[in-house]
Amino acid sequence: MARPVVAIVGRPNVGKSTVFNRMIGDRLAIVEDRPGVTRDRIYGTSEWNGKPFSVIDTGGIELDGEDMMLKSIRMQAELAIAEADVIVFMCDVKSGLTQSDEEVAQILYRSRKPVIVAVNKVDNMNRMDDIYEFYNVGFGDPIGVSGSHGSGMGDLMDAIVENLPDLEDDEYGDDVIRVALIGRPNVGKSSLVNAILGEERVIVSNVAGTTRDAIDTPFERDGQRYVLIDTAGMRKRGKVYENTEKYSVMRAMKAIERADVVLMVINGEEGIIDQDKHVAGYAHEAGKAAIIVVNKWDVVEKDDKTMQHFENNIRDHFLFMQYAPVVFLSALTKQRIHKLLPVVQQVAEQHSLRIPTHLLNDVISDAIAINPPPTDKGKRLRINYVTQVAVKPPTIIVFVNEPEMMHFSYERYLENKIRAAFDFVGTPIRIFTRRKSSDD
């Protein structure tokens, strides 16, 4: 199910990113500290009073050059209007109401979306009287907050939740594999969709997805039902948007959220660039099954070693996604296109795989016997037992005597042993260490 989207908009230096970090809280601590996973983000998730939602920090989308400042502010506001269900209009109590604020307000008036005015840097009660000036922007009661201190954030979150829409669950059943195609512009996502569907497609319907502007295409192949979630056919907004890497990432995130399997499409002719890793990092952190698809393989000059060299290069760049299979194909010529859906079905099954507790503990016991847990100052980490608590992605809890003694490298060792025993091809595995209690 897609989450409602909240966008934070405002001129530079009003503290958008600080408030963004407050809103998403410590959830990023869950993300694995693996090499290659980008930390440069503008998109996160939050929850308040049991209601989850996504948050966009549009402050991360800026154009170069001082003369581009106003254009940058305008673009951020337009992005918020296009993508968000609720808009947080961030102002700065120290600067007061500025002409730039009024420019943003004029754009937001036309959105017909709920707009909440948050006046930042209200770091003490003496500043509260200064927020009343912001009634002049015409969006109702301004809320005084301090991103640095956290005061007022509860009131802001209450206001956001009150305005969130109820998004309906999509109508597809659990037996349908939802496949999202992501990647930077011009890697051939639309051509790949057409190649997958082919002439023998059995299309149930073309329906607009719960994510605005994404096109869902349900179809069936060999008795398995699929839905392609394609973000490639979105409204063209001009080169300023196409050249904004973070805008592409933002659009991809909305498709990733709804997917079971993510196809990370790379242009085989151009090779790998940082934006590919950026987008793939979001899919990994979202816990989705993933396949790296190298498209346009027909135009690559190659010999009998080219494919292996390219895959090795992928493995070097995508260190955090070693589990993802790589498929080389050409959407244009249909070369190797028949190999893709069987891999999609395989990784979807692995993404939903649940291992019985006794088998999991047998594997861990063997792993401990081969390589005992580390010691620290004469004290040894003791692993009591393990159990799988969730699927999509497979999530495993390791109960131990001292969680702080579980070193990253030993956790990786255990994951490798689990993968050697049960495969888990194409899916990340989440491993959490917990202290064993008397109840356990």
- Which residues contribute to the annotated binding site for GTP? 10-17, 57-61, 120-123, 183-190, 230-234, 295-298
Closest among 256, 290, 261 to 426, alpha carbons compared: 290
Find residue 217's DSSP bridge partners. 228
The annotation places the binding site at 10-17, 57-61, 120-123, 183-190, 230-234, 295-298
The helix or strand, by DSSP H or E, that contains position 115, with its residue range, turns out to be strand 115-120
Concatenating the DSSP letter of every residue in 402-437 gives -GGG--HHHHHHHHHHHHHHH--TT---EEEEEEPP
The C-alpha atoms of residue 87 and residue 138 are separated, in whole angstroms, by 14
The C-alpha atoms of residue 125 and residue 184 are separated, in whole angstroms, by 47
Report residue 5: phi and psi, to 5°: -115, 130
The C-alpha atoms of residue 413 and residue 181 are separated, in whole angstroms, by 31
Cβ count near 269 (within 10 Å)? 15
For residue 378, CA distances in Å to 340, 374, 375, 405 come to 51, 10, 6, 12
For residue 294, CA distances in Å to 94, 291, 424, 436 come to 51, 10, 21, 45
The C-alpha atoms of residue 227 and residue 204 are separated, in whole angstroms, by 10
**CA angle centred on 232, ends 229 and 236, rounded to 5°:** 135
